[in-house]
Amino acid sequence: MNDSKSTVRYLGCRSLPDGGRGFDFSFAHGSAKPTMITIEAPIAFFQGPDRIAIQEALGICYETLKFRIQTDPVSPPDHFNLTSADVAQHRKIAKPPGSRRRGDES
């Protein structure tokens, strides 16, 4: 996210002691000095039939952070946990295999 008011950059991902993942971002509002924001994704999101991939979690965390900054651009939290509601709101649903449209094959 980069506009005249704020900048968000992905810095990296790391494993947490409980097996979850921490996603680090930098955020700067206007010309202010960037601050680091960490979003923790609990291990439960990476297990079970509805699990998310780490790469997918990155996108969900980024979109969640952008949404929170739009809600409160002046003082977003420096640390928060990803929630089921965040995942439901920002998860991109993959198209099922074979759903790609092809030309007429008759």
Q: Is residue 105 part of a domain?
A: no
Whether residue 100 lies inside any domain: the answer is no
Decide if 106 is inside a domain. Answer: no
| Domains identified in the chain, total number | 1
Has residue 23 been placed in a domain? Answer: yes
Domain contains 101: no
Over range 9-37, report the average pLDDT.
Answer: 93
Segment 27-50, tens digit of pLDDT: 988 888 899 999 999 999 999 998
The answer as to whether 72 is a domain residue is: yes
Prediction pTM value: 0.79
Could you tell me the residue range of the domain that residue 55 belongs to? 6-90
- Between 91 and 100, name the one with better pLDDT: 91
Q: Rounded to whole angstroms, how far apart are CA atoms 93 and 89?
A: 11
> Does 36 map to a domain?
yes
- Asked whether residue 1 is domain-assigned, the answer is no
